[in-house]
Amino acid sequence: MKIDLTDTTSSKINKALVQGRRAIGTPAVGMVLTLVIVTDEENAYDALRAANEASREHPSRTLVVIKRVSRSPRDRSKARLDAEVRVGADAGTGETVVLRLYGEVINHAQSVVLPLLLPDAPVVVWWAVNAPLDPAKDPLGALAQRRVTDTYAAEHPIDELSARADAYTPGDTDLSWTRITPWRSMLAAALDQVECEVTSVEVEGEEFNPSVELLGMWLADRLHVPVKRSMSSGPGLTGVQMETNCGPIRLHRPDGSLASLSIQGQPDRAVALKRRETAELIAEELRRLDPDDTYASALKFGVERLGERATAAPAANEKAPDEAGAADEPTAKSSAAAAKKSAPAKKAASK
């Protein structure tokens, strides 16, 4: 069921939600959280579809905030709120309100959203595109226990990743981090099978892919060994090789679907490591609403290294081709990892 409201208010939207629930015969509210999606008109459909699929696992009230900036000065000055209320089959297993903000209302989105939040329920804000540099200080982000961004959608993903590290606040997370969960699980499980010490790691993937960067940060942070970054044509992450005193351990995924795990002294194994859709990533993030300390540790570990890379980039362009390639590696050995090189490597890299 859909109810369209033009030039409306938050109180009228709440009344429409009650009216819609009664009309379909489900007056009781059985939702567990409020998911606020901040997006633009172009990406709203995909974001809402992902949220609806995730609602099968996490019934929620989904509020989609679309800030409409008019090109006409006359229309730009007129404040207006339009809403589309969806309940029943049109809203997955929860409720959906699509909010389109015009004029001065754009600068006060939190005032529109606040009366629509479910009482006594957690709030998660997800910026599908155009996330603020400091999500926790954003007016909408201040309403939430968890703030989800996606550096992969940014114009300059590596710079965005560095900004996320500088502004990190407990409760922040990123879908680029969520994408590497299967990789982290697989690598940790592989290390649990051997009695070896890791001496170095090489991470291979697309250039300027934040998930590749984060995996390298996590490995360097957990294992205290140098991590080298290698480029590939993708898709996404394509391989990790860990050198140990018992022989190499390699996880290779050339096609974005099926990976091969090789451990010295054991037969090679094919493992499913498919690239996941946005709905699966959002569903995973909604399973936990506490701060992700592992993400924070890996992110902060890479701040200094990312800063050094940005400083060294102009000088690297003046070097010979082979030297420039080494200087431009996003996850080359960090100074922190080098200082700890003599320390014994940890056996497991689990969270």
Instruction: Summarize pLDDT for 132-156 with one digit per residue, the tens.
Output: 989 999 999 999 999 999 999 888 8
Q: Which amino acid is at 317?
A: N
Q: Give the pLDDT of residue 178.
A: 96
Q: Are residues 75 and 138 in the same domain?
A: yes
Q: Are residues 118 and 25 in the same domain?
A: yes
Whether residue 191 is contained in a domain is answered as yes
Which of 149, 169, 190 is the last residue before a domain boundary?
A: 149
Whether residue 17 is contained in a domain is answered as yes
Q: Give one word for 204, left, alpha or beta, with left for phi > 0 and alpha for psi -120 to 50.
A: beta
Q: Are residues 215 and 327 in the same domain?
A: yes
Q: Are residues 120 and 261 in the same domain?
A: no
Q: Are residues 121 and 226 in the same domain?
A: no
Whether residue 57 is contained in a domain is answered as yes
Whether residue 159 is contained in a domain is answered as no
- Cis bond upstream, residue 132 (ω within 30): no
Whether residue 242 is contained in a domain is answered as yes
Whether residue 70 is contained in a domain is answered as yes
The tokens for 308 are 């050094």
| Distances, alpha carbon 50 to alpha carbons 17, 108, 211, 245, in Å | 21, 26, 20, 44
State the chain's mean pLDDT as an integer: 83
Q: Are residues 117 and 185 in the same domain?
A: no
Residues 70-97: pLDDT tens digits? Answer: 665 555 558 899 999 998 776 667 889 9
Query: Rounded to an integer, what distance in angstroms lies between the CA atom of residue 187 and that of residue 192?
Result: 9
Q: Give the pLDDT of residue 1.
A: 82
Q: Are residues 25 and 135 in the same domain?
A: yes
Query: Rounded to an integer, what distance in angstroms lies between the CA atom of residue 31 and that of residue 8?
Result: 24
Whether residue 351 is contained in a domain is answered as no
pLDDT at position 202 over 90: yes
Average of per-residue pLDDT across 240-248: 93
Q: Give the pLDDT of residue 336.
A: 35
Q: Are residues 210 and 122 in the same domain?
A: no
Q: Give the pLDDT of residue 244.
A: 92
Q: Give the pLDDT of residue 72.
A: 57
Q: Are residues 133 and 14 in the same domain?
A: yes
Which of 149, 169, 189 is the last residue before a domain boundary?
A: 149
Q: Strand pairing of 258-263 and 249-252? A: antiparallel
Q: Are residues 130 and 189 in the same domain?
A: no
Q: Are residues 76 and 142 in the same domain?
A: yes
**How many domains does the chain fold into?**
2
Query: Rounded to an integer, what distance in angstroms lies between the CA atom of residue 177 and that of residue 297?
Result: 12
Under 8 Å between Cβ of 304 and 334: yes
Q: Give the pLDDT of residue 326.
A: 31
Longest dimension (CA), the chain: 73
Closest-CA residue to 94 (of 139, 40, 35): 35
Which carries the bigger pLDDT value, residue 24 or residue 306? 24
Whether residue 319 is contained in a domain is answered as yes
Range of the domain at 314: 181-278+305-339
Residues 11-70: pLDDT tens digits? Answer: 999 999 888 888 877 655 678 899 999 999 999 999 999 999 998 888 899 999 999 876
Residues 142-201: pLDDT tens digits? Answer: 999 999 999 998 888 888 888 888 899 999 999 999 999 999 999 999 999 888 899 999
